[in-house]
Structure 1
Amino acid sequence: MRAIQRTLLASTAMLAAVAASSAAHAQAASSDPSVQLEEIIVTSTKRAERLQDVPVSVTALTQDVIERNNVRELGDVVKLSPAISIDYGSQPGNFSIKMRGIGTFSNGIAVESDVAVVIDDVPIGFQAAAFKDLIDVERVEVLRGPQSTLFGKSAIAGVLNIVTAAPSNTFGGKAMALTTDDGEKRAGFTVTGPVNDTVRMRLTVAKSDYDGNLKNLTTGKNVNGSSGLTATAKIEWTPTQSLKLSLAPRFNHNVSSCCASAITELTPGLNYQGEPAFPATLTLRGITFDKNNHFVRADDRIGGGNSEVFGGTARLDYDFGEGSILKGHTVSSITSRDRWKMRDFQDIDGTDQPFLLGFPVASPSGVNSGAVINGYFHARSTTQEFRLTSPGAGRLRYVAGLWYAKNDLDRYLNRGPVLQLARYLAQSTNENYSAYANATLDLTDKLSLTGGARINRQKIRYTFDKTIFASTAPGAATTHQLFGRSDQDDAVTGKIGVQYRWTPDIMTFATYSTGYKGQAYDLVSTFDARIAAQMPVPPETAKNYELGIKSSLLDRRIYFNATLFRADYHGFQTSVTSFLPDGTFLTFLNSVGHLRTQGLELDAVARITSNFRLNGAFAYTDATVVDFPNGPCYSGQPTTVSADPAFVGAPGVCYNTPRTNGRVQNLHGKRLNNTPRYKFSLGGQYDIDLPDDVPFKAFVGATVRWQDDINFALSQDPRTVQKAYGVTDLTVGIADRDGKYKLTAFANNLFDKRYAQGLGNGTSGYSNPAIPTAQGKTWFPGRDAFRYFGARLDVNF
C-alpha cells in the first residue's frame, strides 16, 4: 500500500509541475479549440456536473469511444474499464458483474448483485436482465467502490450508470450496419426530432445476430452466440418552460445459445457416466483435445435462453421559478415498470447420445434420451423516486430524495429425467423504502466538504416448493416440500469527504463511505430443511477509503485522474461451486467473513493534436480473502482428516473434521477469483488529412488491452488459471467531410491470442473404475478469443 501511495504522490508532484508550465504557456498563447478536449458531463452524483469536478472514482466512456470500439453489450465495457470483470455461469440467468474484484455469483434469485446497472436513472431489478444489446448510448459511467448512499443497496461494489441519447430539437437520425467474417451481423437506426413546438421524440430499433465461436459437430451449427431485437423510444413534452414530461417505453427480445464449454484435456479410456457402451471415443468422436479446441457434441438444444423485456419509464421534472421559496430547484418524479422473462434450456450431459438407456449401470433406466434442464425466470420490477435537486450555483449544492422499489422474482427448474433429477419453484419478493441526501458545501473558493446518508428498510420473503422423488426411476412416487419465510432489515449508509482545488484545473479529494446489501436466501436445488433453518444469509457491509486527484492539463488537452482505494467487505455473499463425479454442477451460498480490495486506478484522455486522440485506463487491484476458514477445496486437492472438532487447518490446506462435515480449506490471504492484479487498456484514433479535392478523410485507430494472471476458482485450483494475455484491435476507415457517412474496417484480436472467460477442472461426467486418477479440463472462450475481421457503415442524416 505504501508503494502505491508513493506512486500517487509522485504523480501528483509531476502533474503539479506540468500544470504550472502549461499555465504559463496558456497565458502566452490563446486557446486553440481544435486541440482541446470537450467537457464531459456526468450524472454520477444524480446531478449534471463536470467529470473533473466530481469527487468520485468514475470513468466516463463517451459516445465516440463506445462507437469506435463497437460496444454492443455489457461484456464489451469490460474491455475499456480495467476495474470490471464478469463471471459467466452455466446459463445467461447466472452472469455476474464484478467491480474491483467484488461481485456476487449465485444461481439463486434471492441474492442481489453487488454492482448496480442503472439505465436513465432506473436500476435493473434483476442483473441478468441487463445482459442485452446496448443501443443509442450517449455515455457509460463506471462508478467504482460502494455507491449505496445515492444508488441503494445493490450498489455496494459499484455502479454502471448508462445514459441514452435524448430527443433532438431538430429532425435527424442515423443508421448503422455491421458484418464480420465469423457470422456476426448488426443493424440499427434512430430517428429523432420535434413533433411540434412542445413535443420531441426519439425512436431506435436495432437487430443483432451472432452464431458463436464453438461448433456443435452433431448439428453443424455454431453455439455460444445470440440474436436480439431491441426497440426504445423517448417522448418529451414541455408544455411550459418550467415543466417537462417524458415517457420512455422499451422492448428487447434475445435468444442465446449459451454457455457451452469445450473439452481441452481428457484422460484416454473414459466412458460417459462410467457406461462401457458410451466411451468418449463415441460421444466425443471427431474432437481433438487441445488448448484451442472449439468443437463440441450435443443435442440440438445445447443450451441458452430465450428472454423478453417489456417496460417503460415516466418522468416529470419541474423547475421552480421566481417568487418561489425553492427558486432554482428542480423536483423530479421517476416511475418505472419492467417485466423480464426468460425460458432457459441446457443439454447437461454434453453428448448427442441417449446414454440414459444404460444409466445407471446397475439398473438401467431404459429412457431413450439424454439429460436436460428446462425452466424459466420471471422478474417484475417497480420503482418510484421523488428527487429534489438544488441549483448548480451557490456554496451549498445538494440532492435529496425518497425511493421505493419492489422486485417479484420466480425461478422454475426441471432437471432430469434421471441424471441429476431435481424440480422446484422458487419465488422471492423484496421491497425497499429509503430516503437519501447528498450535499457539497464550499467552505472557501478552494476547499469543499461533501457528505451524504441513506436510510434503508428492506422487506424480503420467499416460498420454495420442491419435488422429492422416491427414486430416479421414471414414474417414481413424489412428495412435495414447501418452505417459506419473511424477514425485515434496516440499515444506514453514508459518505463523507473533502476536496481541494489547487488550481482551476487540479482537484484532489479524500472520501470515506459505507455500503450495504440486504439479507438473502439460497434458493437453489440443494435447498432443504437444514438450509432453510439457517436462512436468511446475513447482510453484506463495506467500508471504503479513497484518495484521488483529477486534473485538466496543457490548456485542456489532457485529462488525467488517479484514485487510491481500500475497501473491507464483511459478510460477503457469494456462491462457491463444485462438481460431483457425475458432472453435476452445484453451488452453495456462503457468507464470507472478510474480504479486502485495495489498489490504484488511473484514467487519461489526451488530444495530442487536432487529428490525434488517445484514451487509456489502468488498474492495480489487490483483492484478497482476510477471513474465510470454511472455503471450498478444489478437485483432487490433498485432504487432511482430523477427528478433532476444533481443528482448523493452515491457509491452503484442505481438511475434513466432524465440525465441517465436508472438505473445506482456510482461504486467508488468497486472491479473489477472476480478478487480475494488473490490467490496462489503451486506445486511440488518428485522422488523416487528404487533399482538399478528395471528398472524404481517412482515419486509423487501435486499442490494446492486457491483464495479469487470474484464477477462475475461489478454491485456488491450479488447473483453472488463465495466464496473462493481451489483445490488440485495429480499425481503418474513411468518412465524408460533412460527417454524414463513415465506413470502417476492423480486425479484432489482430494477433489471434487465445484466452478463456472461464476454465473448468473436471472430467465432465466421464469416468472409468480402472483409471481412478483421470483428469479433464474445459474452457469457455471469449467473444474475440479467435481473430475476426469486419466492416461497419454509419450514416447520419
Structure 2
Amino acid sequence: MTHMRSMLLVSTAAAVLAIAPGAALAQTQAAANSDTQLEEIIVTSTKRAERLQDVPVSVTAVTADVLERNNVRELGDLVKLSPGLVINYGSQPGNFSINMRGIGTFSNGIAVESDVAVVIDDVPVGFQAAAFKDLIDVERVEVLRGPQSTLFGKSAIAGVLNIATAAPTKEFSGKAMLLATDDGEKRIGFTVSGPVRDNLLMRLTVAKSDYDGNVKNLTTGKNVNGSAGFTATAKLVWTPTDQLTVSLAPRYNHNVSSCCVSPISELTPGLNYQGEPAFPASLALRGITIDKNNHFVRADDRIGGGNSDVFGTTGRIDYAFGDGSLLKGHTLSSITSHDHWKMLDFQDIDGTDLPFLLGFPVASPSGVNSGASIHGYFHADSWTQEFRLTSPGDTRLRYVAGLWYARNDLDRFLDRGPVLQLARYLAESTNQNYSAYANATFDVTDKLSLTGGLRANRQKISYAFDKTIFASTAIGAPTSHQLFAGANQDDAVTGKIGLQYKVTPDIMTFATYSTGYKGQAYDLVSTFNAAIAAQMPVPPETAKNYEIGFKSSLFDRRVYLNATLFRADYRGFQTSVTSFLPDGTFLTFLNSVGHLRTQGVEIDGVARVTRNLRLNGAFAYTDATVQSFPNGPCYGGQVTTASTDPGYVGAPGECYSTPRTNGRVQNLHGQRLNNTPKFKFNIGGQYDIDLPGMPFKGFVGVAYRWQDDVNFSLSQDPRTIQKAYGVMDLSLGVTDLKDRYKLSIFANNLLDKRYAQGLGNTTSGYSNPAIPTAQGLTWLPGRDAFRYFGARVDVNF
C-alpha cells in the first residue's frame, strides 16, 4: 500500500509539472513575444553571474516576485517554496538549524558549525542562529543543494542558502509595503533608491514586523511563539572610474522572539506536577483542554525566547582590468565583512505558572518562591576577508579563484535553576579558517564542457569552558569551578569534477562528483565534564556526492524544467541527540554518526502558459537513512535487550545495553533520518485578469504544498510522527497597469489543516507513582498551522 501511494505521489507530481509544457505547446503556434516568455534568471551559484539554466548545480532560484507573492518574511517561510529545505526548531532561537536533503546539524553548543551555509551578498553568516531574522529587500534566494564546500567553504557540506539583496538603482525610485492579518501580524517596509551624484548610488531600506504568535499563555493573556523585528540596511556604490567600483553596506537588525513553546496535546489523566499531589495537572493546567489542537499554556511571564541585535558592515572593492592589461577582462574583488550578534535568551523550563518550589520536598531547600527557569546570553563576533579573481565570461576557459579568511569568536553563558537541575557555565570558542580555492569550466567543444574545482582548507579551533559546581542544591551553598580548555587544528582538501553537455542550445545535461568537509567540533553544553572533555574534539564530517541532471528551456523560453538525481554519503555526521529529564528539562548530547546516506530526485518547473497565466512547481524525493550508528539513542519505553557480553551489538532497530555501552543504545542501521519527509512537493501559480476599460487588472494566486509522514526523533519514536499533510494558500487582488500599486488579500492554510513543526514524547514533568505507564506529547504548531486571513498593499514610485 505504501509503495502504491509513493508511486501515485510521484505520478501526481510529474503530472502537475507536465501541465505547463502541455499547455505551453499550444502557444508555440503564435508569434513569440516577451509577454509570453519567462524572464532570464541570473544566479551567482558559482560565484559569477550566470544564467540559471547554464549552471550545472541543483539549485532553486526564488525571485523577488515569488517571495512577495508568498509573503516570505524569514528563512522559515522558504520551506514552502523549496521541497528539499527543512528547518529544525529547538527550544529557543539559538539552536535552530537548516536541513537540506535530510542533512543538517542540530546542536545547542556554540562550537558546532552548521551543515548549510547562509550567505548574504557574498558573506556567510558566522553563527547560523543570527540568520533567523527578517529578510528584507531581497532580490533573489538561491537554494543550492548538496555539498558546496569547494566554493563556499566548510559550513556548506549539505548546501547553501545564497541570498542576494537588491542593488541601488541609477534612477530615483522607491517602494513601500504594508501587511496585516486577522491573527495579529503586522509588517511595514520602505525603500528608497537612486543617485546621490553622478558616480554615487544609494539604497536605504527600513522594515518593521510584529507577530504575537499562535499559542496563548492563559496566565498573562499574551500570545507567544511569535516575533517582532526592526531592520535597517543601506548600500552605497561609488564608481570613481569605469574600472573601479567601491561599495559599503551597513546593516542592523533587532529581533525579539517568544519562541519556542510547545503546548501539551496528550497527557494521561491523574498526573501531578513532579509527582507531588499538591500540584495536580488539573491545577497547573487549569482552563486548558488537552487535545491535538491545544494551543494554550500556563507559564510565567518570561515564558521563553530571545532578544537579539545584529550590527554588521560589508565593504567591497571591484577592479576590472583594462584592455592594456595582462588580465584583460578579469575582475579582482576584495570583500570584507564584520558582524556582531548578541542575544539574551530565557525559558520557563517548568512550563507552569505555579511557584512549585514552595512545597516541593525534593528541592533543597524547599520553600523557594518561584519555578525553574533558564536565562543566559550568546555573543558572536565574525570577521571575513576574501580576495577573488574572476575571469571573463565569454571565453572557452572560465574560472574563479580566491583566498579566504574567517574568524568567529563566540561565547555562551547559561544559568539554570534556582534549585533541582542546577547548571551554570560560560563557554567560549574561537574558530579561524584559512582557505584557497579555484573553480573552472573549459569548453572542449561548443557542446561539451569540463568543470573542476579544489579548495584547500585549514581550521584552527579552541575553547574554554568554565562550569560552576554546586556543593548542593541549597541556595547559597558553596560552589567551585571546573575549567576546561583545548585547541586543535585540522587540514582538508575538497573538490569537484563534472561534465556538462548541451544536447541543444536549450537543453543541458550534467554529471558531477563533489566532496564536502566540515571541521572538528566541541560539545559545549551543560553536560560537559572531564569525561567528555577527554573525548574532544568530535571528528570532522565528510561527504561524497554524485549528481546527474538536466536543465531545459522549452517552447521558446515559455517553460523551464530541471531535474537532478543525487546520492551522497556522509561520514562522521555531527548531530545532537535530544532527551528530556523526568522534570521535563530538555537536554542534548553531541554524537558523531558513523555513516549516513541520502539519495533521491529533485524536480523544478516554471511555465508561462499564456500571457496571463504562470505556473511553478517543485518536487523532492529524499531517501535519507542511517548506514552505521550502532550506539544511537533509544526512545522512552522502548523494549531493551540486556547482555553481559561487552561485544554484543543489537540487530537493526534493537535497543540494547551491555557493560560497554554504559546505558541503553540502539542500532539505527537502516533507519530514516529525523525531520526528513520522503516525498514533498509544492505547486502554485497566478492568473492575471484583464479588465478592459479599467486602469487596473485583477489577479488570483493559488499555492499548495504537501509532504509525507515525518518522524521528529532520530530514535524513531513512534509517538513523534507527524502524519502527511497538505496546506493550501489563496490570494487575490488588483494592480494598476503600470505596477505602481497593488492591493491583495489572502488566506493562508485555507482548509485549516493542523500540523506540527515538532513533537516531543514527554509528560513535561507530570507523573504519578500509581500510573507507571503515563504518557504525554507536546507539539510545536507552525506559523500557518491555523488558518488566517490578511491584506497587503504595495506601492512603487
TM-score w.r.t. length of structure 2: 0.97
Whichever residue aligns with residue 543 of structure 1, its letter is K
**Shift of residue 361, structure 1, vs aligned partner:** 3.7
In structure 2, C-alpha distance between the alignment counterparts of 1:414 and 1:274, rounded to whole Å: 25
Larger deviation, residues 763-772 vs 502-511: 763-772
Does residue 1:737 correspond to 2:737, yes or no?
Answer: yes
In structure 2, C-alpha distance between the alignment counterparts of 1:165 and 1:676, rounded to whole Å: 33
In structure 2, C-alpha distance between the alignment counterparts of 1:362 and 1:210, rounded to whole Å: 38
Equivalent residue of 1:414, what SS? strand
> Residue 249 of structure 2 corresponds to which residue in structure 1?
248
Whichever residue aligns with residue 490 of structure 1, its letter is D
**Shift of residue 581, structure 1, vs aligned partner:** 1.3
Does residue 1:92 correspond to 2:90, yes or no?
Answer: no
**Shift of residue 275, structure 1, vs aligned partner:** 1.6
**CA pair 361-424 structure 1, distance change in 2 beyond 3 A:** closer
In structure 1, C-alpha distance between the alignment counterparts of 2:31 and 2:617, rounded to whole Å: 28
Whichever residue aligns with residue 728 of structure 1, its letter is M
1:166-193 Cα distance to aligned partner (Å, 9 max, x none): 0000001000000000000000000000
1:261-317 Cα distance to aligned partner (Å, 9 max, x none): 000111111111112211111111011110000000000000000000000000000
> Residue 71 of structure 2 corresponds to which residue in structure 1?
70
**Shift of residue 360, structure 1, vs aligned partner:** 3.6
Mapping for residues 37-56 of structure 1, pairs under 5 Å:
37-56=38-57
> Residue 198 of structure 1 corresponds to which residue in structure 2?
199
> Residue 182 of structure 1 corresponds to which residue in structure 2?
183
Instruction: Note the residue ranges of structure 1 that are not aligned, 5 or more in a row.
Output: none
In structure 1, C-alpha distance between the alignment counterparts of 2:233 and 2:414, rounded to whole Å: 31
Mapping for residues 206-245 of structure 1, pairs under 5 Å:
206-245=207-246
Does structure 2 retain, via aligned residues, the 8 Å contact 1:358–1:364? Answer: no
Equivalent residue of 2:65, what SS? helix
1:418-459 Cα distance to aligned partner (Å, 9 max, x none): 131100000000000000000000000000000000000000
Mapping for residues 765-784 of structure 1, pairs under 5 Å:
765-784=765-784
In structure 2, C-alpha distance between the alignment counterparts of 1:640 and 1:743, rounded to whole Å: 63
Whichever residue aligns with residue 636 of structure 1, its letter is G
**Shift of residue 477, structure 1, vs aligned partner:** 1.1
Does residue 1:712 correspond to 2:719, yes or no?
Answer: no
> Residue 367 of structure 1 corresponds to which residue in structure 2?
368
Does structure 2 retain, via aligned residues, the 8 Å contact 1:365–1:474? Answer: no
Equivalent residue of 1:155, what SS? coil
> Residue 530 of structure 1 corresponds to which residue in structure 2?
531
Does residue 1:541 correspond to 2:542, yes or no?
Answer: yes
**Shift of residue 364, structure 1, vs aligned partner:** 5.0
> Residue 612 of structure 2 corresponds to which residue in structure 1?
611
**Shift of residue 30, structure 1, vs aligned partner:** 4.2
Whichever residue aligns with residue 519 of structure 1, its letter is Q
**Shift of residue 211, structure 1, vs aligned partner:** 0.6
Whichever residue aligns with residue 738 of structure 1, its letter is K
In structure 2, C-alpha distance between the alignment counterparts of 1:142 and 1:359, rounded to whole Å: 51
Does structure 1 retain, via aligned residues, the 8 Å contact 2:27–2:610? Answer: no
In structure 2, C-alpha distance between the alignment counterparts of 1:319 and 1:638, rounded to whole Å: 67
Equivalent residue of 1:259, what SS? coil
Equivalent residue of 2:609, what SS? strand
Does structure 2 retain, via aligned residues, the 8 Å contact 1:741–1:794? Answer: yes
Does structure 1 retain, via aligned residues, the 8 Å contact 2:83–2:619? Answer: yes
Larger deviation, residues 352-361 vs 771-780: 352-361
In structure 1, C-alpha distance between the alignment counterparts of 2:48 and 2:775, rounded to whole Å: 55
Whichever residue aligns with residue 38 of structure 2, its letter is L
In structure 2, C-alpha distance between the alignment counterparts of 1:32 and 1:89, rounded to whole Å: 49
> Residue 795 of structure 1 corresponds to which residue in structure 2?
795
1:532-587 Cα distance to aligned partner (Å, 9 max, x none): 00000000000000000000000100000000000000000000011121212111
**Shift of residue 638, structure 1, vs aligned partner:** 1.1
Equivalent residue of 1:75, what SS? helix
> Residue 642 of structure 1 corresponds to which residue in structure 2?
643
**Shift of residue 29, structure 1, vs aligned partner:** 6.0
In structure 2, C-alpha distance between the alignment counterparts of 1:472 and 1:590, rounded to whole Å: 29
Equivalent residue of 1:790, what SS? strand
Does structure 2 retain, via aligned residues, the 8 Å contact 1:544–1:567? Answer: yes
> Residue 60 of structure 1 corresponds to which residue in structure 2?
61
Does structure 1 retain, via aligned residues, the 8 Å contact 2:357–2:363? Answer: no
In structure 2, C-alpha distance between the alignment counterparts of 1:33 and 1:523, rounded to whole Å: 56
In structure 2, C-alpha distance between the alignment counterparts of 1:30 and 1:449, rounded to whole Å: 36
1:9-66 Cα distance to aligned partner (Å, 9 max, x none): xx9xx99xx89x97x996x864221100010000000000000000000000011101
Does structure 1 retain, via aligned residues, the 8 Å contact 2:84–2:101? Answer: yes
> Residue 679 of structure 1 corresponds to which residue in structure 2?
680
> Residue 433 of structure 1 corresponds to which residue in structure 2?
434
> Residue 283 of structure 1 corresponds to which residue in structure 2?
284
In structure 2, C-alpha distance between the alignment counterparts of 1:364 and 1:275, rounded to whole Å: 16
1:115-144 Cα distance to aligned partner (Å, 9 max, x none): 000000000000000000000000000000
> Residue 264 of structure 2 corresponds to which residue in structure 1?
263
In structure 2, C-alpha distance between the alignment counterparts of 1:29 and 1:748, rounded to whole Å: 37
In structure 1, C-alpha distance between the alignment counterparts of 2:257 and 2:364, rounded to whole Å: 36
TM-score w.r.t. length of structure 1: 0.97
Aligned-residue Cα RMSD (Å) equals: 1.8
> Residue 399 of structure 1 corresponds to which residue in structure 2?
400
**CA pair 271-364 structure 1, distance change in 2 beyond 3 A:** farther
In structure 1, C-alpha distance between the alignment counterparts of 2:250 and 2:216, rounded to whole Å: 37
Does structure 2 retain, via aligned residues, the 8 Å contact 1:747–1:790? Answer: yes
Whichever residue aligns with residue 171 of structure 1, its letter is F
In structure 2, C-alpha distance between the alignment counterparts of 1:695 and 1:443, rounded to whole Å: 53
Whichever residue aligns with residue 368 of structure 2, its letter is V
**Shift of residue 483, structure 1, vs aligned partner:** 0.2
> Residue 332 of structure 1 corresponds to which residue in structure 2?
333
1:142-174 Cα distance to aligned partner (Å, 9 max, x none): 000000000000000000000000000000100
Does structure 2 retain, via aligned residues, the 8 Å contact 1:643–1:658? Answer: yes
Equivalent residue of 1:492, what SS? strand
In structure 2, C-alpha distance between the alignment counterparts of 1:425 and 1:364, rounded to whole Å: 25
Does structure 2 retain, via aligned residues, the 8 Å contact 1:275–1:361? Answer: no
Does structure 1 retain, via aligned residues, the 8 Å contact 2:149–2:155? Answer: yes
**Percentage of pairs with the same residue:** 80
Instruction: Note the residue ranges of structure 2 that are not aligned, 5 or more in a row.
Output: none
Does structure 2 retain, via aligned residues, the 8 Å contact 1:329–1:389? Answer: yes
> Residue 454 of structure 1 corresponds to which residue in structure 2?
455
1:71-127 Cα distance to aligned partner (Å, 9 max, x none): 000000011000000110000000000000000000000000000000000000000
Equivalent residue of 1:344, what SS? strand
**Shift of residue 320, structure 1, vs aligned partner:** 0.4
> Residue 698 of structure 2 corresponds to which residue in structure 1?
698
Does structure 1 retain, via aligned residues, the 8 Å contact 2:334–2:386? Answer: yes
Aligned residue pairs: how many? 786
In structure 2, C-alpha distance between the alignment counterparts of 1:228 and 1:275, rounded to whole Å: 41
Mapping for residues 419-498 of structure 1, pairs under 5 Å:
419-498=420-499
In structure 2, C-alpha distance between the alignment counterparts of 1:207 and 1:160, rounded to whole Å: 23
Does residue 1:343 correspond to 2:344, yes or no?
Answer: yes
In structure 2, C-alpha distance between the alignment counterparts of 1:270 and 1:166, rounded to whole Å: 59
Whichever residue aligns with residue 205 of structure 1, its letter is V
* Stretches (4+) displaced over 6 A: none
Does structure 2 retain, via aligned residues, the 8 Å contact 1:118–1:162? Answer: yes
Whichever residue aligns with residue 760 of structure 2, its letter is G
Whichever residue aligns with residue 770 of structure 2, its letter is A
1:170-221 Cα distance to aligned partner (Å, 9 max, x none): 0010000000000000000000000000000000000000010000000000
Whichever residue aligns with residue 764 of structure 1, its letter is S
In structure 1, C-alpha distance between the alignment counterparts of 2:586 and 2:746, rounded to whole Å: 38
In structure 2, C-alpha distance between the alignment counterparts of 1:245 and 1:31, rounded to whole Å: 40
In structure 2, C-alpha distance between the alignment counterparts of 1:422 and 1:46, rounded to whole Å: 45
In structure 1, C-alpha distance between the alignment counterparts of 2:696 and 2:607, rounded to whole Å: 25
In structure 1, C-alpha distance between the alignment counterparts of 2:658 and 2:148, rounded to whole Å: 40
Does structure 2 retain, via aligned residues, the 8 Å contact 1:357–1:364? Answer: no
In structure 1, C-alpha distance between the alignment counterparts of 2:300 and 2:395, rounded to whole Å: 66
Equivalent residue of 2:324, what SS? coil
Does structure 1 retain, via aligned residues, the 8 Å contact 2:561–2:605? Answer: yes
**Shift of residue 737, structure 1, vs aligned partner:** 1.1
Does structure 2 retain, via aligned residues, the 8 Å contact 1:304–1:344? Answer: yes
Whichever residue aligns with residue 696 of structure 1, its letter is F
